[in-house]
A and B are shown apart, each in its own frame.
Chain A
């Protein structure tokens, strides 16, 4: 189960999002708010989710509506707050599985040398846009190739899910995680051994490449944005506030150690993020393109970093086809271990609350998710992914984590919660975390929500930063999201009504 949670946490964000955020927000100094957020938000939320998941599992509930209801039975509305724990992972799955399919496609393109002759940013961007179907050009005549790789990725995901937690997800993670970490170490060693490949610029060497990421710029600490970015990265990378860990932990028994499991999953994720993720893309970009271009690359966005800059770096290396294949295969493995976990809460909900067989639940999920993926594929250029990521992958994560923390420390009660964490545990959680979980973590979460509300609420709602031609698409995406949310609420209502009428019937 630790492998499954670590596989869920280690995703594309570790290898693309983290290095870009760190380099763009003060380098080594970014690691100060990052460490603080890790200790005050990441680790406590890991323990909270592992513990709540196992607690709810004891009552036969594997997803947030049932788990929340188990904790606060007197409150008839709390189960509806748990809908966020189904909504978030489903929404993330919709766009994540498509982005994951790009990594599979690029690993194939690397082997076949499809982008090998491309040397400039503009041309590589045209290759990506042609592949995505955003524009027709000499590289691709339409979206067909991207759609083919999406279908392959989607079928792989469904196949893993079809065989269940033990036969599918755990088996996948047992193979994919060691392979992913091995590929990461091979690429790290390859980057470290690059030295100074540009003879005209001996200062563009690997030590300075690491320096670009790690040299501290302490002025960055005065910026609230840097602190928010660090907290957001910790959230995103550990997969907390989504609902996935709750579902995985619900399969544990009272004798399993949730304190150690949570810490181990977080530690493995940090290894992949800071050591592997921080040691590959930015240092490699530095030695080939120099400090100025690397600075521009760091702020150019995750897609640009992964699918434009990295192929160019790979093209500059010896054995570029094999190196490229290893890099994109690593990203694909990181992606698939995360995407199968994102599907799990909705499937578990259908199994637990409606008594559906696993295979039937997987088929219903697959058909629904496949249909919902279509706007992402065909309206990519119109801001659909950004909108889904904003609501499903950012705002609701923080809201959900806040609800979980309140339920854990204030409703279940810190004394009960503390006993629950330590059931079957070899690891004694430091008692300072009693104070942190009860006061510091919720205050930290409220501060994030409050700052977001004051800084971004109105411009986001009014779509002030959305280009006029994309507004109808963004609005339509919001309507679909609202529809999904209402549908999930009504499903929870139906499930509880069925349960109540079943009880009365007995």
Chain B
């Protein structure tokens, strides 16, 4: 894999994982509040 490939791979993988963590933390904290 080229350096450019690694850059895309890391940005997208970690970006999507971060988005999911953000959303699910919000969803579950909202449920706890209820």
Contacts and interface: CB of A to CB of B under 8 A. Distances in A.
Interface of A: 2, 27-28, 31, 35, 207-208, 210-211, 214-216, 257, 260-261, 263-264, 267-268, 270-271, 274-275, 426-427
Contacts of B30: 257, 260, 426
Interface in B17-33: 17, 19-20, 22-24, 26-27, 30
Contact of B19 (A207, A270, A427): A270
Question: What are the nearest 3 A-B pairs in CB distance?
Answer: A211-B1, A28-B8, A215-B5
Interface residues of B, number: 20
A216 B8 contact: yes
A28 B26 CA distance: 30
A427 B5 contact: no
Contact of B1 (A214, A268, A427): A214
A263 B23 contact: yes
B25 to A, nearest CB: 10
Interface centre among B1, B6, B13, B26 (most CB of A within 10 A): B1
A156 B4 CA distance: 45
| Secondary structure type dominating chain B contacts | helix
26 contacts: A31-B8, A31-B12, A207-B1, A210-B9, A211-B2, A214-B5, A214-B6, A214-B8, A214-B9, A215-B1, A216-B4, A216-B8, A257-B30, A260-B26, A260-B27, A263-B19, A263-B23, A264-B26, A264-B27, A267-B16, A267-B19, A267-B23, A268-B20, A271-B17, A275-B13, A427-B26
A211 B16 contact: no
B1 A275 contact: no
A216 B4 CA distance: 6
A216 B9 CA distance: 10
A260 B23 contact: yes
A426 B23 CA distance: 11
A204 B23 CA distance: 37
A2 B9 CA distance: 27
A175 to B, nearest CB: 18
A145 to B, nearest CB: 38
Contacts of B8: 27-28, 31, 214, 216
A211 B20 CA distance: 24
Nearest to B22: A267
Interface centre among B7, B17, B26 (most CB of A within 10 A): B26
A4 to B, nearest CB: 14
Given A260-B26, A264-B24, A270 B16 contact: yes
B5 A274 contact: no
A261 B6 CA distance: 31
A268 B8 CA distance: 19
